[in-house]
Amino acid sequence: MKRILVTGGAGFIGSHLCKKLADEGNDVICLDNFFTGSKDNIWNLMDYKNFELIRHDVTEKLYVEVDQIYNLACPASPVHYQYNPIKTAKTSVWGAMNMLGLAKRVNAKILQASTSEVYGDPEVHPQPEVYRGCVNPIGIRSCYDEGKRMAETLFFDYHRQHNIDIKVIRIFNTYGPNMNPNDGRVVSNFIVQALKGEDITVYGDGSQTRSFCYVDDLVDGMCRMMDSRDGFTGPVNLGNPGEFTMLELAKKVIDLTGSSSRIVHRPLPLDDPTQRKPIIDLAKKELSWEPFVMLEDGLKRTIGYFEQVLRKETA
Ligand code: NAD
Ligand code: UDP
Ligand code: UDP
């Protein structure tokens, strides 16, 4: 069994990953500064003997001894990563540098949670890994997009210069239980609004598309990538190719919750990508991975989770 560090482990995806790795018997160190993460996401792990929590910021040095590092620390919702954009850039870039320095010192294998945002507002659709993207370097999303691009650059330079064993995944929109109800991303916003009977806020005309992957599928892909053959660095797209408009998503959420909420339109944020859909042939070939959970099933499970959270809030 391995000693594994998960940065951002108290966040949405990180908490599922920590649980899976701990259940498999690994020694898991969860690192988080709790900017967007929550102890609620990992309370069920606190009495595991093979789980440890460190409150720490990845922009600071870290000295631990581990075999593997999953680097997830970074706010992922536009609302949160734009709250303090300079900090977001530091988290992405300095965080990557520190984790790579750590990987170098202890000779650990390291996986970077990169993002479909490296493709920006893509002119190529759907997106293969070889597409180099269309990113605005000076816009309000740039702290995240360019931060993640720089992190990828650092990963490949540490690989070439120091022979670090790197694995880079580009995650497309992922959803599921443990998302923060105030996260600001579309799936959690729509579900919480529907359950509260509030207006569902579709930004712009709602014709922009996203492809939504259920978190269990994603985490399975992440672990397969960590365990992939020596020398396979990626980057590899991980996402569900099912593509939906935001208006379709809003209607699905209303249907599944039986909500009486109305759809209202709000201004489209600046630089909001118009379309996004992964080509996952590389993940299929190298990782024998593809997602299985259909949007409707994943939404049902996520709705169940938010019902519980809201019930607790009002209790
Ligand atoms: P999240 O916001 O729920 O989790 C991020 C975690 O990182 C939180 O627990 C937060 O407190 C922690 N964190 C933030 N800054 C930190 C810092 N400086 N030091 C230590 N911890 C810090 O988001 P998520 O959806 O779980 O995303 C996890 C990772 O996956 C992120 O790197 C994100 O960029 C990437 N990703 C997610 C998606 C998605 O759709 N969920 C898509 C693409 C990429
Ligand atoms: N680092 C860290 N933990 C370690 C080793 C390094 O946090 O166990 C940090 C280190 O402080 C530096 C960064 O990682 O800021 C990059 O390390 P590297 O050895 O590549 O660079 P250098 O220390 O030579 O600048
Ligand atoms: N969006 C929306 N209503 C909301 C939140 C988001 O219509 O309440 C839209 C947003 O403009 C974007 C899409 O949903 O086009 C996905 O947004 P999210 O913030 O979830 O992720 P990202 O833009 O990073 O893919």
Domain of 144 in residue numbering reads as 3-175+213-241+277-293
pLDDT of residue 315: 82
Predicted confidence (pLDDT) per residue in 236-245, tens digit: 999 999 999 9
> Does 271 map to a domain?
no
Q: 3-class secondary structure for 253-264?
A: HHHHHCCCCCEE
Query: Mean pLDDT across the chain, nearest whole number?
Result: 97
Taking the centre of ligand 3 as the mean of its atom positions, its distance from the CA of residue 163, in whole angstroms, is: 38
ipTM of the complex: 0.98
> Does 49 map to a domain?
yes
CB 32 within 8 A of CB 73: yes
Q: What is the CATH number of the domain that holds 166?
A: 3.40.50.720
CB 303 within 8 A of CB 195: yes
Predicted confidence (pLDDT) per residue in 2-16, tens digit: 999 999 999 999 999
Count how many domains the chain has.
Answer: 1
Pocket of ligand 3 (CB under 6 A): 77-78, 173, 185-186, 189, 201-203, 208, 210, 246, 268-269, 272
At 206, list the tokens: 């709602």
> Does 193 map to a domain?
no
Mean pLDDT along residues 75-81? 96
Mutate to test the pocket of ligand 2, among 58, 60, 66, 97 (most ligand atoms within 8 A of CB): 97
pLDDT of residue 303: 98
Mean pLDDT along residues 178-195? 96
Ligand number with the minimum distance to the CA of 201:
3
> Does 201 map to a domain?
no
